[in-house]
Copies of this chain bind each other. A is one copy, B any other.
Amino acid sequence: MLTRLTIHTTGPGLYEFAREIAAELSGQGDGLLTLFCQHTSASLTIQENADPDVIRDLQAFFARLVPHADDPAMSFLRHRTEGPDDQPAHIKSALTQVSLSIPVQDGRMMLGTWQGVYLFEHRDMPHTRHVVAQFMAS
* A interface with B by C-beta (< 8 Å): 2, 30-32, 34, 36-41, 45-48, 51, 53-54, 56-58, 60-61, 64-66, 76-79, 81, 87, 90-91, 93-103, 105, 110-115, 130, 132, 134, 136, 138
Contact = CB atoms under 8 A, between A and B. Distances in A.
Q: Is the interface of A mostly helix, strand, loop or mixed?
A: mixed
15 contacts: A2-B103, A36-B101, A47-B94, A54-B79, A56-B78, A57-B87, A57-B90, A57-B91, A58-B91, A60-B76, A64-B76, A65-B65, A110-B132, A134-B138, A136-B138
Copies in the complex: 3
Given A53-B87, A54-B90, A57-B91, 19 more contacts: A2-B30, A2-B138, A34-B103, A36-B102, A38-B112, A40-B54, A40-B112, A47-B90, A47-B93, A51-B81, A53-B78, A56-B79, A60-B77, A99-B100, A99-B101, A99-B102, A103-B134, A110-B132, A136-B138
